Amino acid sequence: MSTIRVKDGTEIYYKDWGTGQPLFFHHGWPLSADDWDTQMMFFLERGFRVIAHDRRGHGRSTQTYNGHDMDTYAADVAELVEALDLKNSIHIGHSTGGGEVTRYVARHGAGRVTKAVLISSIPPTFMQSERNPDGVPKEVVDSIRNGTAFNRAQFYKDITVPFYGFNRPGAIVSEGIRENWWRQGMMGAVTAHYQCVKVLSETEFYDDLKMINIPVLVMHGEDDQICPFPTTGARSVKLLRHGTLKSYPGLPHGMPTTHADLINADLLSFIRA
């Protein structure tokens, strides 16, 4: 396995395939680099270098109890980027991974990153608060936290249904997709996933978004049942200096998997523009 050991001793697992312009993929909660397999194969075949890592506590990385905050997640990425000496790169994040991209690009990306993509992402902030009155209610966040801590195996099965929009009329349910989500989730540490719920729900990215001075594509499904479109994706693009919003009527949170052909084509157009 390819790993690096970051400053606090945590080992971060990563995949690094191909040559050409680097595309760095950041996965969502509670998944792993494997969630990007379809995108990585697509872009690998088109001459890009594709990289994806397992966030600390997730997948094959160290099941550490420490460092579960967005600053540390971004710092881990920065150490990996430096170790691989990535330049002229494009960072692409889904869900919590979009928050990681935002924090990394704003704080560490100068001189290394040329574009970024936020897909179904948590910025500018996820949970309902005084600053975000239309956000996801705290009781919903608490149900995610409790399901993760005390009934993870079943909860991870159940959440795949709204995640991929499989509860919508006419949806074609893929048990393979559901089982792959569950497999990835159960690989990681329950403590890391539990703490990450606080990270994804309470971290604010208003200042980070305003700091970013490169083109950013915000892609969001209008039927996202996890990160509601009006309060996350649509709001993020208004804070970016060079942001472009591409919304998708009827598409779910997990659209990079359920609608990979469409998402990959739009990603390629933005990357080549």
Segment 73-129, tens digit of pLDDT: 999 999 999 999 999 999 999 999 999 999 999 999 999 999 999 999 999 999 999
**Which tokens hold the place of 261?**
């052909």
Question: Is 253 known to be catalytic?
Answer: yes
Question: Is 220 known to be catalytic?
Answer: no
Question: Is 269 known to be catalytic?
Answer: no
Domains and CATH numbers, the chain: 3-272 (3.40.50.1820)
Percent of the residues in the chain that have a pLDDT greater than 90, as a whole number: 99
The bridge status of strand 3-5 relative to strand 11-17 is: antiparallel
The stretch 226-231 carries a mean pLDDT of 94
The stretch 223-242 carries a mean pLDDT of 95
pLDDT of residue 1: 75
Catalytic residue among 120, 224, 236, 259: 224
Segment 40-64, tens digit of pLDDT: 999 999 999 999 999 999 999 999 9
pLDDT of residue 126: 97
Segment 145-186, tens digit of pLDDT: 999 999 999 999 999 999 999 999 999 999 999 999 999 999
Count of C-beta atoms within a 10 Å radius of residue 133:
8
> Where does the chain have alpha helices with state H?
37-44, 70-84, 96-108, 138-150, 152-163, 175-187, 190-202, 206-211, 233-237, 255-258, 260-272
Catalytic residue among 32, 95, 120, 236: 95
DSSP E strands in the chain: the ranges are 3-5, 11-17, 22-26, 49-53, 89-94, 113-119, 216-221, 243-248
Catalytic residue among 53, 58, 94, 253: 253
